[in-house]
C-alpha cells in the first residue's frame, strides 16, 4: 500500500488495529518519534520542509535512520492529517507490542477507566511518564491511545512510556497475580493530604475515570480505597488531566518519603 493511502486509512481506529500502524504529525512529534526506538515506516513531506534549518535537520535524522521519504503536495498531506497545519511532515510508524510484565519490586500503575477525550488521554500519559509511573493501562471505553490527537498530546511520551490496552478480565487477572492494590479518585474518598507514606502499598494502581460517568462497575468493585483532592467549595471538580497530575505527584512524594525513612 502506498504510504499516502496508508496514512489516510490510518485515520480510522479499525485500520490502525488491522495494520498495527499509527500516524504522527508535526515537527516536534516526528522529531521525537525519530529519536525513539520505534520502527518508522516512512515520512510524507512537502517541499516547504526543506525551507528552514529545523526541517532540514529532521530530514537528516530520517535519512540517517534510512527512513523512506515521500514528497507530496500540501493538499495531499492535509488529506492524510488530523490537524489543519501538519507543518509539512507526517510519519507512519509501527505500534509497538507491549505487555504488562509481572513486577519484581515496587510498582505504580495509572489505570484509565473509559477516558474518551483524546487530548486528556495524551496529557495523562505524558504526566504518567513524567511522574515515573511503571506503566499506563487503558481499559475498555478509553479512546484508542494511538489516535493522532493522543499521540500529539502525549508529546512523545507514548514512544517510550509503556501504555497497554487491556480488557477488564485480563487486567483483573494481572492485578490479582501481581498483588496490585487499586485506588481511585472519588469525592467521597479520603482527603489526599491525609494519605501518608505508610498508607501507600508497594504495588499500586491509581484509577482515573470519566468525569461524567464515574467508575465502571468492574473497577468500582475492585477498588480498595478512594481518595479526593480537597478544593475550594465553589469549585465542583477538576479536569481529569489536572487531577491526575496532582494525584500522581502526591503518590510519588509519599512513596519517596516511605523509601527514605
Mean pLDDT of 186-214: 85
pLDDT in tens, 95-147: 999 999 899 999 999 999 999 999 999 999 999 999 999 999 999 999 999 99
Q: What is the pLDDT of residue 60?
A: 97
Averaged pLDDT score across all residues of the chain: 92
Mean pLDDT of 139-167: 96
pLDDT confidence band for 188 (50 / 70 / 90) = confident
3-state secondary structure 193-245: HHCCHHHCCCEEEEEEECCCCCCCHHHHHHCCEEEECCCCCCCCCCCHHHHHH
Burial class (CB in 10 A: 0-12, 13-18, 19+), 128: buried
Long-range contact list for 145-150, CB < 8 A, 24+ apart?
Answer: 145/121, 146/16, 146/22, 146/95, 147/13, 147/118, 147/121, 148/11, 148/22, 148/23, 148/24, 148/25, 148/81, 148/82, 148/83, 149/82, 149/118, 149/119, 149/122, 150/118, 150/119, 150/121, 150/122, 150/125
Q: Tell me the whole-structure pTM to 2 decimals.
A: 0.91
The β-bridge relationship of strands 107-113 and 69-71 is unpaired
* Residue at grid coordinates 507530496: 72
pLDDT confidence band for 258 (50 / 70 / 90) = very low
The β-bridge relationship of strands 203-209 and 107-113 is parallel
Burial class (CB in 10 A: 0-12, 13-18, 19+), 28: middle
Q: What is the pLDDT of residue 215?
A: 86
On the question of pLDDT at 210 being above 80, the answer is: no
Rg for the chain, CA atoms, rounded: 20
Contacts of 78 (CB under 8 A, 6+ apart): 84, 86
Instruction: Report residue 129: phi and psi, to 5°.
Output: -65, -45
Contacts of 12 (CB under 8 A, 6+ apart): none
Amino acid at each position: 500500500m502506498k504510504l499516502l493511502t496508508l496514512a489516510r486509512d490510518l485515520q480510522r481506529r479499525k485500520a490502525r488495529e488491522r495494520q498495527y500502524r499509527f500516524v504522527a504529525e508535526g515537527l516536534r512529534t516526528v522529531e521525537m518519534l525519530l529519536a525513539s526506538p520505534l520502527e518508522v515506516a516512512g515520512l510524507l513531506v512537502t517541499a516547504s520542509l526543506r525551507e528552514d534549518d529545523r526541517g532540514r535537520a529532521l530530514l537528516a535524522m530520517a535519512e540517517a535512520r534510512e527512513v523512506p521519504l515521500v514528497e507530496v503536495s500540501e493538499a495531499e498531506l492535509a488529506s492524510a492529517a488530523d490537524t489543519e497545519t501538519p507543518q509539512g511532515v507526517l510519519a507512519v510508524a509501527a505500534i509497538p507490542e507491549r505487555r504488562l510484565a509481572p513486577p519484581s519490586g515496587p510498582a505504580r500503575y495509572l489505570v484509565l477507566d473509559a477516558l474518551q477525550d483524546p487530548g486528556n488521554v495524551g496529557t495523562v500519559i505524558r504526566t504518567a511518564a513524567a511522574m515515573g509511573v511503571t506503566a499506563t493501562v487503558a481499559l475498555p471505553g478509553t479512546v484508542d491511545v494511538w489516535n493522532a490527537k493522543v499521540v500529539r498530546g502525549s508529546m512523545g511520551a507514548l514512544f517510550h512510556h509503556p501504555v497497554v490496552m487491556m480488557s477488564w478480565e485480563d487486567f483483573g487477572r494481572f492485578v490479582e497475580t501481581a498483588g496490585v492494590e487499586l485506588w481511585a479518585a472519588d469525592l467521597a474518598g479520603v482527603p489526599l493530604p491525609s494519605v501518608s507514606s505508610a498508607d501507600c502499598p508497594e504495588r499500586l494502581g491509581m484509577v482515573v475515570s470519566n468525569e461524567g460517568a464515574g467508575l465502571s462497575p468492574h473497577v468500582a468493585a475492585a477498588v480498595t480505597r478512594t481518595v479526593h483532592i480537597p478544593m475550594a467549595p465553589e469549585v465542583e471538580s477538576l479536569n481529569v488531566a489536572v487531577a491526575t497530575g496532582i494525584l500522581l505527584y502526591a503518590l510519588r512524594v509519599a512513596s519517596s518519603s516511605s523509601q527514605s525513612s
